[in-house]
Amino acid sequence: MLFSAELTVNTHVAPRFARHRDSVPPLKVVPMLSASQKLARVRYAKAALRRELCSWRRVMITDSKYFRLHTSGKPAGRWCTPATRGTVAKPQHSIAAHVYMGISYHGTTSLKFVTGTHKQVSKYINPKTKLPHKGVAKDEYTDVLRDHFIPESNKMFAHAGK
């Protein structure tokens, strides 16, 4: 059995450059973080641990996430025999939900669906193209903060006595 996602740059490209191997430098593995970056992060984390825990209790972090019914790119892979290896059909327009949410020491906010959710067109117009924005623009995020996150966080932090 073969795992179809195991096809890498080395297995496809390297053999084609076999006769030019001296002119093609080998791939270099580089760490995601340098040693100085790791040290700086460890110093920051240790300093944050020494800070008063109450200061972190007044922080709320927001983030967005796309949830898709189908993958938007190449499938991760599937087990198959060489005889049954084939292609995976991909829909042209996958159903998706683009949501924002906030999290703090005291709890979480509810999900807020924003532009990028399936068939939801932005009401915010791009001044350059005169068309609706394709993603969340600064005006939309400002409205999400004002109309959703700030009221919910006020309730959350008031309930916590902060």
pLDDT at 26: 63
pLDDT at 3: 41
pLDDT at 148: 94
pLDDT at 120: 81
State yes or no: pLDDT of 13 exceeds 70: no
pLDDT at 36: 92
- The string of pLDDT tens digits covering residues 126-154 is 899 999 988 888 899 999 999 999 999 99
- The string of pLDDT tens digits covering residues 77-129 is 555 666 666 555 666 667 888 899 999 988 999 999 888 787 788 888 989 99
**Phi, psi dihedral angles at 82 (to 5 degrees):** -55, -30
- The string of pLDDT tens digits covering residues 33-78 is 888 999 999 998 888 877 766 677 888 999 999 888 766 555 555 5
**DSSP assigned state of 20:** G
Average confidence score pLDDT of the chain: 76
Percent of the chain residues topping a pLDDT of 90: 25
How far does the chain reach from its first CA to its final CA, in angstroms?
59
Q: Supply the DSSP string of 113-162, one letter for each residue.
A: E-BTBTT---SSBPTTTSSB-SS--HHHHHHHIIIIIHHHHHHHHHHTT-
